[in-house]
Amino acid sequence: MTSIPNGGDSVVSALAACGVDTVFGIPASYTIEIYDALARDGRFRSIVARNEQAAAFMADGYARRTGKPGVVVVTGGPGLGNTVTGLQTAYADSSPLVVIASDLEPAQRLEQPLGLPHEAVDQAGLAAATGAIVARADDPGSIRTSVCGTIAQSLSGRNRPGVVLISRSAMEAPASDEPDVTELPEATPSTATYKELSEAVDLLRTAVDPLVLVGAGVAGARAEDELESFLALSGFPYVTTVPGSSSANRSGNWLGVLDNPTSRKRLSSADVVLALGTSFGAATTKSWTLKISGSLIHVDIDPRSLGQHYQPRLAIEEDARSFLVSLTSLFAESAPPDPQISTEANQPLLTHRWIAPIESALPKVDATICVDVTMASGWIPGGISLGPTRKLMMPWNFMTLGWAYAAALGTQAAVPDDTVLAVMGDGGALFTIGELATAVDHQLPVVLLVFNNRSYGIIADLQDKVCDGRRFGVDLGYVDFCSIANAFGLSWHRAKTPEELETALKKSFTAREPTVIEALVEISDLGTEST
């Protein structure tokens, strides 16, 4: 029997036209047409999660690693509701996550009768509250434009998430004669004027103590090579934000990560700061206690970030890649000053006995670390050699607990030959532990490292400091992650010392199979000064 193309086929043809080839989510009765069309089409990889929140995290990891849209297909109601944390995380960190979900009929949305399956008072409002772009398709003729339009908007300017809500009648109806979308519409990029570029060059050339601050927008614009060219030409020293840690190689005049007093003091003393692709958010600036006393040249693709927290001498709305191309060209027109290698250059990595094994075991290239909200995250950005071929991804601005493992699975799906490591605490790991089944089903060789201190360690440490040692709700019972891994059919290792951890990591990276490593630690092991 030949199937008549329906709204599900329209969704799939739109995704194909937009260059999408991987879809995350969970099949449901209200999205059965989409999943049936995906199966019949044969061009897509469908990764089925165990929870819609985790599916959104997977798509977020995929999007951050590739720069392409990470697409999730779930049912409306509880399915869409479970993606909200993922949408908020993607909005906070500028990731093009796109959720496609079923919707109630227009009359149902207006009347709001009780007792409907997946009833929701305001799905569009729920999605919009996350910061996502929201589109609705209530007839089959608007499905393709809604899907492709939302994807295009998610990639335009500052990347952001999007949600497409498709009513059941539109999903079930025969596909319309709406023409196929053959390519994404391109937004007109903002570009720096010659006057702005000349002023930036003049400020930088006359600076006595310049500094470049490299933010996540450099990696977001895929501008790592352009940054390296400019830094080599200018000889300027540079620091990175934590989310921008993978944007620049740690060589030449690298002065560290902006997550410690030394780097922040160095930035505050510079007479000219060139800030590339950073919003100067609370996490980066320690709740805006960071001082910038010199002239600030702030370059960002989002005009809302310019001047929002720090007043720039020169504000330029442009993506980092195109700005660096223009700046380097103009800078090179006359001989640049002789690069003065700072005596502070080539700053050593922070040393920590439980983080050093990761630095030693992780391959130097083609590797990605997804780090959760965990005590270890305070050491990893400054304790691991990072750069364009050894990437770090974190839910930096939204600080989402439980994000890392699912995001790592999405990352592995995006770059199957890379080594991918997820680092979590025991509290965060339990948020998405069911996705071990997803790793096995799809043979995604992510290594999950759980630092098990039997607590919500960050909050426990904070309670110890500000509540006179009184703790509440943070001391957790011991969970045997190795037994859990075994139950799911994964390989596992238990490490009681840093030396055992290094051995376990090396074995796991070599094996190239889904693996769990449980490191037994105390709160004091990750909360103390480096050793």
Report the interhelical angle of 224-234 vs 320-331 (nearest 10°). Answer: 30
Query: For 443-502, how does the pLDDT look when each residue is reduced to its tens digit (9 = 90+)?
Result: 999 999 999 999 988 888 888 889 988 999 988 999 999 999 999 999 999 999 999 999
What is the reported pLDDT for 316?
96
What average pLDDT does the chain have?
91
| Cβ atoms 140, 174 nearer than 8 A | yes
Domains of the chain: 7-172 (3.40.50.970), 194-331 (3.40.50.1220), 356-527 (3.40.50.970)
Q: Which residue has the tokens 């999605």?
A: 127
| Cβ atoms 247, 215 nearer than 8 A | yes
Percentage, residues of the chain above pLDDT 70: 94
If 0-12 CB within 10 Å is exposed, 13-18 middle and 19+ buried, where does residue 16 land? Answer: middle
- CA-only gyration radius of the chain, Å: 24
Query: For 155-194, how does the pLDDT look when each residue is reduced to its tens digit (9 = 90+)?
Result: 999 999 999 999 999 999 888 766 555 455 455 566 888 9
What is the reported pLDDT for 283?
92
User: 350: Cβ–Cβ under 8 A, 6 or more apart, which residues?
Assistant: 260, 379, 382, 383, 530
pLDDT along the chain (531 residues), means of 10: 79 96 96 96 96 98 97 96 98 97 87 76 94 95 95 94 96 76 54 90 93 96 95 93 92 87 92 96 94 96 94 96 94 65 60 94 97 93 93 96 98 98 97 97 98 91 88 92 98 98 98 98 74 34
C-beta neighbour count of 186 within 10 angstroms = 9
What is the reported pLDDT for 250?
86
Distance in angstroms (rounded) separating the CA atoms of residues 120 and 123? 6
The model's pTM is 0.94
What is the reported pLDDT for 469?
84
Residue 413 vs residues 27, 96, 285, 308, 439: alpha-carbon distances, Å: 19, 16, 33, 37, 10
- DSSP letter at 255 equals E
- Across the strands, what pairs with 273? 211, 296
Reading the block at residue 88, the tokens are: 């908020």
